[in-house]
Structure 1
Amino acid sequence: MSTLPFPASVYAARLDRAAVLAADAGLDAIIVGPGPDLQYLVGVEGDTIERLTALVLGPGIVPAVVVPRMELAKVRTTAVGELGLTLADWVDGENPYDLVASAVGAASRVGVSDALPALHVIPLADRLGVRVELATPVLRESRMIKDAEEIAELRRAGAAIDAVHGRVREWLRAGRTEREVAADIAEAIVAEGHRTVEFVIVGSGPNGADPHHEVSDRVIEDGDVVVVDIGGAVPSGYNSDSTRTYVVGAPSPEASERIAVLARAQQAAVDAARPGATASQVDAAARQVLADAGLGEAFLHRTGHGIGVSVHEEPYIAPGNDLVLREGMAFSIEPGIYFAGEWGARIEDIVVLTADGCERLNVAPHALTAV
């Protein structure tokens, strides 16, 4: 029985496009190991283990999957089975690298996915007799432009995480620890439509000044500004990621004023997100609003990151990234301000670029929310 979230034809189109892009890049073959790229191309999920699983594709190559026999039944439930791709299974004691070499054939340039570890890359290179290189540019190009099915799943994920933010006031209050609040949020992430919880950040008071603080046993106090950054994967494997900033009780005038500036900065970046703009221009739109208000040095990270089958993927919305944005790209817009020893704040939405702008996939209130 198939476990695919999308029709097999979607995966066939992805395989065909990856082969064309490989040819454009001058690669004779691409070897893709377990990880986000394999999930995207054929729906096979999981991480690399000591037993090699690999998809081989490229111009003029009939796509083939080398897989341990003990994993064969699972792989057949994915697009590999639906599309009737060539399967080369092996058992312990046999050499899977010979099977990959047979699928590749004669080649002078071979790319490997960036999730394939040295454990497999080195023996593959030895067996192929070529210097392998990263296939990242090809696979990145494949995944950056979302198809209609992917956008629909990102919308679903966005609505599901918005529903969780809509319930935060049920759990966030003085006297509870960050860990207790996070446990309730994690349960709600699943209840509201996700299959997994990828992360829960509850940063209260001074902990909010650490952008990647997760949770602690700190007891939340009246007056705390609290950063809640949460996300998970919906059943298709596509991810949500959204941050809102809350205050327990009444905020200080300074916090209210600064977070209002942050909301304007986030909106400025959303307004700048459109085909033809560069990633750095979108980043600069948020950064300029904060700098004009004297808060530029409080913004410690890039403005955003792509999202899909990975929480973080291309494109990265960062200073110096001159990548021209295109319709179908999906990424976060999440400027933040952080004051060491005091508090922090971040506002994050996922957007998808449309023909003339962007669609915001998160609509939970952006203003500082009192609970």
Structure 2
Amino acid sequence: MPAAELELERLARLQHRLVAADCDAGLFYDPLNIRYATGTSNMSVYALHHPCRYALVPAQGHVTLFDFKTCEHLSDGHPGVGEVRSAVSWYHFITGPRTEEFAERWAAEIASVLGTYAGRRRGARPRLAVDRLDPLGLWALERLGVEVVNGGDAIGLARAVKCDGEIATMRAAIEVCERAIAAMEAACVPGVTEQELWSVMHQVAIAGGGEWFETRLLTSGPRTNPWYQECSDRVIREGDLVAFDTDHVGLGGYTVDVSRTWLAGDVKRTAEQRDMYAAAYEQVQRNVELLQPGVTFAEVSQRAHLPPDGLHSPANACVAHGMGLCNEYPLILNRDQFASDGYDGVLEPGMVLCVESLVAPQGRPEAVKLEEQVLITPTGPQVLSASPFCESLLS
């Protein structure tokens, strides 16, 4: 599918959700939401913590993109963008003590453009779905008569089901990332540091057209447990488990979220390493098979396989989570947390989910992390990730 066709299909999905939410338009600041709606990308990591660009998406028609000053040319060739304006930024670094003044200026322009979309809802005041907004902006829009509602549902549901072009792009992103995983595995020898090893992933993935990494989750030996430590200057030793989670925003902005655990060096696994790996592998394989179209999240949670007592880690909250431009709806929690924190829904063809396992026995020196990226097809789950599992731990 040509890029332009893909962008227009995504925009149409989002606009369908805005209509369903009875909104005149959506205002999106999250760089990934802007990319979904427009196909454009500009300083995404910077824009995650400096709100310097935003997109006003009408329920019908072309998008007005407010981009960083002098960056209008970056929208050339993106058919969903009808107009590009310079963003009015009003965070403290830019405005200092004049933040409220600039917020008022920003709101006046938003309300003016929004006024061209209004009237489609039988004279009701303009209704705007917003993904994120600081209080000054919210108050300024409300003073101008704009009704602001949560836009997370609309964009989240739009992004959940992928079209053919998105799946093709994701497959290409996974292929590049898995070349980086293979290069990192070849470099995983005793004596290398965690950071040196992780740098191999960066070099190969970025050289292949990948974009950035959301985390630095690669640890070894005693730093694998507890999980969620990021890589350090620790030297990997013979016999260590080395575990990682890619969290890679790759080609076209589509994320690759795959985890593997390796055994460093030419040594035999310990009995404990064998048992942990077998438990994690079984959990992933069995839970992949649960991802059938039409099955509810509650059913998946209830039927999901958990490792034996003493091996299941409460830090691994989910059976699976959605994946696209980043972590996305849905999040399916394990049954030990579903009642208190989960929500229900239905698996649909075109959803992509990542199936997780973390075996991290409390008080023990190591952990095993595995994760597969899976497409829901009309006939069942199809595993998209193809990086091999560690034979010395599995066999």
The TM-score with structure 2 as length reference comes to: 0.81
Paired position in structure 1 for 2:130: 113
Distance 1:268 1:358 in 2: 11
Aligned partners of 1:198 and 1:232 also within 8 Å: yes
Distance 1:91 1:299 in 2: 41
Asked whether 1:55 is paired with 2:56, we answer: yes
1:145-199 alpha-carbon deviations (Å, 9 max, x no partner): 0111110111112222222222333222222221222222322222444233443
Paired position in structure 1 for 2:72: 73
1:233-277 alpha-carbon deviations (Å, 9 max, x no partner): 333111112111111232111210221121111001111111112
Distance 1:69 1:228 in 2: 35
Aligned partners of 1:299 and 1:335 also within 8 Å: no
| Residue identity in the other structure for 1:98 | A
CA RMSD of aligned residues (A): 2.9
Paired position in structure 2 for 1:33: 29
Distance 2:238 2:88 in 1: 61
Distance 1:69 1:265 in 2: 46
C-alpha displacement of 1:143: 0.5
Partner of residue 291 from structure 2, selected from 267, 270, 273: 273
C-alpha displacement of 1:19: 2.5
1:35-56 alpha-carbon deviations (Å, 9 max, x no partner): 2111101112232646563313
Distance 2:245 2:67 in 1: 38
- Select between 143-152 and 240-249 the one with higher mean Cα deviation: 240-249
Aligned partners of 2:284 and 2:357 also within 8 Å: yes
Q: Compared with structure 1, are the counterparts of its residues 90 and 363 closer, same or farther at alpha carbon in structure 2 (3 Å cutoff)? A: closer
Partner of residue 342 from structure 1, selected from 336, 354, 365: 365
C-alpha displacement of 1:75: 4.7
1:14-33 equivalence runs, <5 A = 14-33=10-29
Tell me the SS of whatever aligns to 2:215: strand
Q: Compared with structure 1, are the counterparts of its residues 172 and 88 closer, same or farther at alpha carbon in structure 2 (3 Å cutoff)? A: closer
Distance 2:185 2:3 in 1: 39
Paired position in structure 1 for 2:300: 282
Distance 1:76 1:226 in 2: 42
C-alpha displacement of 1:325: 0.7
Asked whether 1:252 is paired with 2:270, we answer: yes
Identity among equivalent positions (%) equals 25
Distance 2:30 2:39 in 1: 10
Q: Can you give the 5+ residue segments of structure 2 that lack an aligned partner in the other structure?
A: 90-101, 119-123
Distance 2:68 2:295 in 1: 48
Q: Compared with structure 1, are the counterparts of its residues 357 and 52 closer, same or farther at alpha carbon in structure 2 (3 Å cutoff)? A: closer
Distance 2:219 2:68 in 1: 46
Q: Compared with structure 1, are the counterparts of its residues 97 and 335 closer, same or farther at alpha carbon in structure 2 (3 Å cutoff)? A: same
Paired position in structure 2 for 1:100: 110
Give the aligned length. Answer: 359
Aligned partners of 1:65 and 1:85 also within 8 Å: yes
Q: Compared with structure 1, are the counterparts of its residues 353 and 102 closer, same or farther at alpha carbon in structure 2 (3 Å cutoff)? A: same
Distance 2:230 2:239 in 1: 20
Distance 1:33 1:121 in 2: 13
Aligned partners of 2:351 and 2:375 also within 8 Å: yes
1:176-325 equivalence runs, <5 A = 176-248=192-264, 249-286=267-304, 288-291=305-308, 295-297=311-313, 300-310=316-326, 312-318=327-333, 319=338, 320-325=342-347
Paired position in structure 2 for 1:10: 6
1:302-329 alpha-carbon deviations (Å, 9 max, x no partner): 133222212x121112133322110000
C-alpha displacement of 1:10: 2.9
Distance 1:53 1:217 in 2: 38
Paired position in structure 2 for 1:136: 152
Distance 1:130 1:116 in 2: 14
Q: Compared with structure 1, are the counterparts of its residues 341 and 17 closer, same or farther at alpha carbon in structure 2 (3 Å cutoff)? A: same
Distance 1:235 1:365 in 2: 21
1:347-366 alpha-carbon deviations (Å, 9 max, x no partner): 11111110011111111223
Aligned partners of 1:97 and 1:123 also within 8 Å: yes
Aligned partners of 2:128 and 2:146 also within 8 Å: no
- Select between 337-346 and 190-199 the one with higher mean Cα deviation: 190-199
Q: Compared with structure 1, are the counterparts of its residues 199 and 104 closer, same or farther at alpha carbon in structure 2 (3 Å cutoff)? A: same
